[in-house]
């Protein structure tokens, strides 16, 4: 039994470390403003809309490099924002299957709580779906989690036990109850945004490499 739990623990730690290469810090001049993920190796960063607040923040990679970011898209209702940085060959995330999440599954949230570099917290899935209480303004599809998302986890990845991204951390909904946006919602947001970017680009002009 001890060997099993040790293997399970080691597996979670390795998955967290590997996925953490795609974690970035998003700063608006306030240390620990929030987190984000490298969605595409060409410099596309995904975070929460409430982290960037329609600004063009600074993105700090795990290797310490800092880049000014350009705001590509913003959806207040979904609480998602897309940024572009001038970088290439970045370690992009591996999306998982958020629709197959089951209550009781172990998940890991990564972020920068209070500016602490690349922190992790673990818990379990409570439930997911579109009938969960939302922030002011209505209801939408969210994952409810039994874990604590301290300030600074917002915009960071929610991982399954294999280290695949199944959601984007959002906020706390109560004592020890966190919320995350399912990754399939993020995928739809990115697909729609990239379509708009291509259509808006002048004829013959290349769109960002992240597209």
SS3 2: helix
Please confirm, yes or no, whether 154 is among the known catalytic residues. yes
| CA distance between the termini of the chain | 47
Cα–Cα nearest to 38, from 14, 11, 20: 20
- Cα 196 from Cα 176, distance rounded (Å): 38
Instruction: Classify residue 29 by its DSSP letter.
Output: S
142-156: string of b/e by CB count within 10 Å (b at 16+)?
bbbbebebbebbbbb
Q: Name the catalytic one among 119, 128, 144, 154.
A: 154
Q: Name the catalytic one among 40, 79, 128, 160.
A: 79
**What is the SS3 assignment for 43-67?**
CEEEECHHHHCCCCCEEECCCCCEE
Residue written as token pair 């199944």: 166
Q: Name the catalytic one among 50, 75, 134, 184.
A: 50
DSSP 154-209: TTPEEE-TTS-EEEEEEEEEETTEEEEEEHHHHHHHHHHHHHHHHHHSPTTPPPPT
- Cα 35 from Cα 37, distance rounded (Å): 7
Catalytic residues: 50, 79, 154
């Amino acid at each position: 039994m001890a060997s099993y739990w040790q293997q399970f623990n080691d597996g979670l730690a390795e998955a967290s470390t590997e996925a953490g290469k795609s974690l970035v810090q998003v700063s608006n001049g306030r240390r620990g403003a929030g987190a984000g993920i490298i969605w595409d190796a060409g410099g596309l960063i995904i975070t929460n809309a409430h982290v960037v607040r329609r600004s063009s923040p600074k993105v700090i990679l795990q290797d310490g490099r800092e880049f000014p970011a350009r705001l590509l898209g913003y959806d207040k209702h979904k609480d998602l924002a897309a940024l572009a940085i001038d970088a290439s060959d970045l370690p992009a995330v591996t999306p998982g299957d958020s629709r197959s999440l089951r209550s009781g599954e172990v998940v890991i949230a990564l972020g920068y709580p209070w500016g602490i570099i690349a922190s992790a917290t673990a818990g379990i899935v409570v439930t997911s779906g579109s009938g969960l209480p939302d922030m002011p303004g209505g209801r939408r599809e969210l994952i409810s989690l039994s874990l604590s998302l301290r300030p600074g986890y917002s915009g960071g990845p929610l991982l399954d036990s294999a280290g695949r991204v199944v959601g984007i951390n959002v906020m706390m909904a109560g004592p020890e109850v966190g919320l995350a946006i399912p990754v399939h919602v993020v995928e739809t947001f990115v697909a729609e945004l990239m379509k708009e970017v291509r259509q808006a680009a002048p004829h013959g002009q290349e769109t960002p490499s992240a597209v």
